[in-house]
């Protein structure tokens, strides 16, 4: 999926990372948008992930 995304979206502003949702190092106050496709239903502690994603939002 990453290879297909890179092929379809060649913009330099897009950064792709391959890692587990729980292991990802969530930066604070940086992202305007967070997208998840076919992943959240596998997470055991979904509230923790929502909190981490929320903190990444640009203020």
Query: Does residue 17 lie in a domain region?
Result: no
Query: Does residue 41 lie in a domain region?
Result: yes
Query: Does residue 50 lie in a domain region?
Result: yes
Instruction: Give the domain range for residue 51.
Output: 27-59
The reported pLDDT for the residue numbered 34 is 81
CA–CA dist 7, 1 (Å, integer): 10
Mean pLDDT for 42-57 is: 91
Read off the pLDDT band of 8 (50, 70, 90).
very high
The reported pLDDT for the residue numbered 59 is 67
* Model pLDDT for residues 16-44, shown as the tens digit of each residue: 888 888 888 999 998 888 877 788 888 89
Query: Does residue 20 lie in a domain region?
Result: no
Query: Does residue 5 lie in a domain region?
Result: no
How large is the greatest C-alpha to C-alpha distance in the chain, in angstroms?
Answer: 33
CA–CA dist 24, 17 (Å, integer): 9
Task: Tell me how many domains the chain contains.
Answer: 1
Q: Is the pLDDT of residue 48 over 90?
A: yes
Query: Does residue 1 lie in a domain region?
Result: no
The reported pLDDT for the residue numbered 52 is 92
Query: Does residue 12 lie in a domain region?
Result: no
> Angle 41-47-51 (CA atoms, 0-180°, nearest 5)?
120
């Amino acid at each position: 999926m990453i290879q297909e995304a890179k092929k379809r979206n060649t913009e330099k502003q897009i950064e792709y990372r391959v890692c587990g949702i729980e292991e990802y190092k969530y930066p604070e106050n940086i992202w305007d948008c967070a997208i998840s496709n076919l992943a959240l239903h596998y997470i055991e502690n979904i509230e923790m992930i929502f909190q981490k994603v929320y903190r990444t939002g640009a203020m």
